[in-house]
Amino acid sequence: MGTLLFGLRHFLASEAIDDQLWDDLEAVLGEFAPAAPHETADFTMRLRPAITGLVEIVQYDVRPYPVRQMRRLIFLSAEHPPPDGVRGHLNRFAMAILAVLDLLGDAA
């Protein structure tokens, strides 16, 4: 039963945490991060769907449940900043995703 549970958790993690998510996080936080406002909006829209998968995975894999980190992640995913605050919001959002991925450890 433990092996089956491990396999299911690994499958859930691989569905939510794919190469595209890592590429997007690198593009947002990396050395060559986008400067144009339309690019930041595109990245925000691409990162939002990952939240559902992360919420699913964290509830099974992280003990104790990281209420503060998950609350911040969910809040940031629902926020719609004004045009002059999009870049800062995207950085905070990406950092919140990374914080949750760090909690997952090897599952991520």
Q: How far apart are CA 32 and CA 44, in angstroms?
A: 16
pTM above 0.85, yes or no: no
Could you report the per-residue pLDDT of 79-102, keeping only the tens digit for each? 988 878 888 889 999 999 999 999
Contacts for 6 with CB less than 8 Å, ≥ 6 apart: none
Domain encompassing residue 85: 2-107
108 pLDDT exceeds 60? no
> How far apart are the C-alpha atoms of 66 and 55, rounded to whole Å?
10
Torsion-angle region of 44 (φ positive above 0: left; ψ -120 to 50: alpha; else: beta): alpha
pLDDT of residue 92: 93
Domains of the chain: total: 1
Q: What is the pLDDT of residues 39-74, one digit of tens each?
A: 777 888 888 888 888 888 888 778 899 999 999 999
